[in-house]
């Protein structure tokens, strides 16, 4: 686990020129700016939405940002993932590390804690320890339901955000007060689901939803979850058709599995697949008990294809597959949606 604590601790100096235009805004003020400096926010997933959320909150002076992401930067990310550049993609840097470096360069007075991890039931407690607000930058319901279970169980506020195509939606969840994610969506979507891989994505839809969610985060941090300006609706909009809708989320749904019955199946890890489809043509193996020596593995794989590695990631091309390995043993295998093929490749080249 990597930590990039800045040398400079967050100093709440509301008179600082840096934040002067924000302090002038009546909703924030000097007191609000001090509260932002004391804020501890986790951003789960640092792709497009996560990048935009992190950038906005870092510039706004939120004192501690914990960035949790399992993925690495690719060229196809650069169209919308605003914290990354071509060099990050060329080096296949983990997104959490690349994001932390960017943030350190644009605001050295906040603390950034990058975590190159896949948020799962077994590590959610450790990864979210000490956090007062959770922001959703993920791209899947599995992780969102996990966050929802955890947040409801611990009475922690969180903000759901999603964007695909030109469409975006967002919901503030204040446990014990508002509807939770499972109140609105009792089950994850079944069958063919639109994803950024299949439907594409406009960077403007991402930035819009991130702007709305980041502003709600500021309201939480400055005024608490009961602040009158905190939105209590599921808000959706389509930046292409200009359609916009809001449905009330002010009250929990009676009988909700999560916030009503407090049956936290996702937190308990029940039914969690050991292998998951990940994107249009790749499979992720959630192996976690297999610390990998990259130097050794690099040597072993030389005879089988092109191998590259740095401290954070090892990539191996074995035509027609591309395997990306992380130090804890997790792997993403591109070029197949067949979990058996992925399992076999893993077993052949990494071990089983
Ligand atoms: Zn609920």
> Strand order of the sheet with strand 167-173?
111-116, 64-69, 40-44, 133-136, 158-164, 167-173, 233-238, 244-248
**With bands split at pLDDT 50, 70 and 90, how would you rate the model's confidence at 192?**
very low
Phi, psi of 218 (to 5 degrees): -60, -40
The mean pLDDT of 188-204, rounded to a whole number, is 66
What pairs with residue 134 in β-bridges? Answer: 42, 158
- Cα angle value 195/128/124 (rounded, 5°): 65
- Cα separation of 131 and 217, whole Å? 13
Least confident of 6-15, 215-224, 267-276: 6-15
Q: What is the DSSP letter of 163?
A: E
Q: Is the pLDDT of residue 7 over 50?
A: no
- Cα separation of 263 and 14, whole Å? 43
**With bands split at pLDDT 50, 70 and 90, how would you rate the model's confidence at 351?**
confident
Residues with CB under 5 A from ligand 1 (ion): 180, 182-183, 252, 256, 258-259
- Cα separation of 173 and 258, whole Å? 12
Q: What is the DSSP letter of 329?
A: S
The mean pLDDT of 215-222, rounded to a whole number, is 98
State how far the alpha carbon of 210 is from the alpha carbons of 8, 9, 43, in Å.
Answer: 27, 26, 11
CA–centroid distance, residue 206 to ligand 1 (Å):
26
Catalytic choice (180, 183, 196, 259) = 196
Q: How much is the pLDDT for 288?
A: 61
Pairing of β 158-164 and β 133-136: parallel
pLDDT digits (tens, 9 = 90+) for 101-136: 999 999 999 999 999 988 889 899 999 999 999 999
- Smallest CA-to-CA distance from 124 within 105, 110, 138, 109 is with 138
CA–centroid distance, residue 217 to ligand 1 (Å):
20
Q: Is the pLDDT of residue 96 over 60?
A: yes
Q: How much is the pLDDT for 10?
A: 53
In our burial notation (b when 16+ CB lie closer than 10 A, e otherwise), range 126-135 reads ebbeebbbbb
CA–centroid distance, residue 257 to ligand 1 (Å):
7
Least confident of 30-34, 42-46, 144-148, 275-279: 275-279
CA–centroid distance, residue 5 to ligand 1 (Å):
36
Q: Is the pLDDT of residue 198 over 60?
A: no
CA–centroid distance, residue 102 to ligand 1 (Å):
36
| Percent of the residues in the chain that have a pLDDT greater than 70, as a whole number | 90
Q: How much is the pLDDT for 196?
A: 64
200: helix, strand or coil:
coil
Instruction: Pick from 81-90, 264-273, 292-301 the range whose average pLDDT is largest.
Output: 81-90
Tokens of 288: 């976690």
Q: How much is the pLDDT for 118?
A: 83
Q: How much is the pLDDT for 280?
A: 74
pTM: 0.80
CA–centroid distance, residue 23 to ligand 1 (Å):
36
DSSP track, 268-297: TTTT--SEEE-STTEEEE---S----HHHH
State how far the alpha carbon of 302 is from the alpha carbons of 299, 321, 341, in Å.
Answer: 5, 15, 21
Tokens of 324: 């990306």
CA–centroid distance, residue 227 to ligand 1 (Å):
21
* 196 catalytically annotated: yes
Question: Taking a C-beta distance cutoff of 8 angstroms, is the pair 309, 294 a contact?
Answer: yes
Report how far apart the first and last C-alpha atoms of the chain are (Å, whole number).
23
| Percent of the residues in the chain that have a pLDDT greater than 90, as a whole number | 67
Q: How much is the pLDDT for 194?
A: 59
Position with higher pLDDT, 273 vs 120: 120
Q: Which residues contact 9 (CB under 8 A, 6 or more apart)?
A: 111
CA–centroid distance, residue 238 to ligand 1 (Å):
26
Least confident of 73-77, 227-231, 248-252: 73-77
CA–centroid distance, residue 157 to ligand 1 (Å):
13
The mean pLDDT of 52-64, rounded to a whole number, is 98
Q: Which residues contact 195 (CB under 8 A, 6 or more apart)?
A: 139, 164, 279, 280
**With bands split at pLDDT 50, 70 and 90, how would you rate the model's confidence at 292?**
confident
What pairs with residue 9 in β-bridges? Answer: none
Average pLDDT, the chain: 89
Question: Taking a C-beta distance cutoff of 8 angstroms, is the pair 335, 324 a contact?
Answer: no
Q: Is the pLDDT of residue 164 over 80?
A: yes
Q: What is the DSSP letter of 128?
A: T
pLDDT digits (tens, 9 = 90+) for 302-338: 888 999 999 999 999 998 999 999 988 889 999 988 8
């Amino acid at each position: 686990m990597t930590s990039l604590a800045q040398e400079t601790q967050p100093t709440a100096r509301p008179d600082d020129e840096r934040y002067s235009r924000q302090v002038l805004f009546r909703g924030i003020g000097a007191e609000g700016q001090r509260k932002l400096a004391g804020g501890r926010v986790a951003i789960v997933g640092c792709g497009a939405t996560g990048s935009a959320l992190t950038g906005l909150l870092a510039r706004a002076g939120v004192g501690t940002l914990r960035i949790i992401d399992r993925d690495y930067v690719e060229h196809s990310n650069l169209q919308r993932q605003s914290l990354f550049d071509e060099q990050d993609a060329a080096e296949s840097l983990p997104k959490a590390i690349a994001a932390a470096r960017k943030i350190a360069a644009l605001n050295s007075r906040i603390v950034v804690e990058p975590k190159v991890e896949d948020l799962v039931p077994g590590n959610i407690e450790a990864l979210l320890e000490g956090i007062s607000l959770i922001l959703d930058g993920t791209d899947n319901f599995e992780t969102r339901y996990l966050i929802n279970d955890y947040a409801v169980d611990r009475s922690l506020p969180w903000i759901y955000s999603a964007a695909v195509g030109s469409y975006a939606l967002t919901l503030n969840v204040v446990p014990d007060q508002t509807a939770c994610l499972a109140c609105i969506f009792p089950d994850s979507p079944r069958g063919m689901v639109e994803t950024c891989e299949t439907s594409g994505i406009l960077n403007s839809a991402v930035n819009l939803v991130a702007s709305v969610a980041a502003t709600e985060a500021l309201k939480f941090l400055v005024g608490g979850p009961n602040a009158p300006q905190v939105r209590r609706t599921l808000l959706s909009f389509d930046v292409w058709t200009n359609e916009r809708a809001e449905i009330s989320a002010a009250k929990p749904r009676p009988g909700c599995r999560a916030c009503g019955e407090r049956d936290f199946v996702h937190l308990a890890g029940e039914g969690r697949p050991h292998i998951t489809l990940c994107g249009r043509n790749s499979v992720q193996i959630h192996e976690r008990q297999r610390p990998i020596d990259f130097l050794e593995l690099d040597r072993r794989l030389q005879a089988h294809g092109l191998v590259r590695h740095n401290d954070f990631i090892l990539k191996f091309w074995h035509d027609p597959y591309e395997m990306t390995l992380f130090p804890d043993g997790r792997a993403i295998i591109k070029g197949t949606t067949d979990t058996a093929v992925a399992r076999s490749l893993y077993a052949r080249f990494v071990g089983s």
